[in-house]
Amino acid sequence: MALPNLSEADRKAALKKAAEARQKRAALRHEIKAGRMTFAAVMKKSDDPIVARMKVATLLESLPGYGKAKAAKAMEELEISASRRVQGLGARQREMLMQRLG
């Protein structure tokens, strides 16, 4: 599928929208890391586009006490792909994550 040809104004608007989404995800990760938002609270907001498009690995790495290795180990044990996003989690995967972290 070919990419659409965007006008300069449309391209700038898309870039601005993407930058805003990245900033919102970074702010969310900061809230989680600081302990102001729990894993369960984040999962309740999984229909929010900012949360839905976040990779599960990134979400786990944002949790206090979790780093890349611990997050990767948890995802491997729960059989969740490293590229999986929150919106793509199955019911069983979501339930197992909540039991482990929620």
Whether 4 shows a pLDDT value over 80: the answer reads no
- By three-state DSSP, how is residue 85 classified? strand
The yes-or-no verdict on residue 23 having pLDDT over 90 is yes
pLDDT at 2 over 80: no
SS3 state of residue 30: helix
Q: What is the pTM of this model?
A: 0.83
Give the per-residue pLDDT at 1: 64
Domains in the chain, CATH or no CATH each = 19-101 (1.10.8.50)
Percent of the chain with pLDDT over 70: 98
- Going from the C-alpha of 90 to that of each of 40, 66, 83, the distances in angstroms are 16, 22, 14
Given a cut of 70, whether residue 40 has pLDDT beyond it is: yes
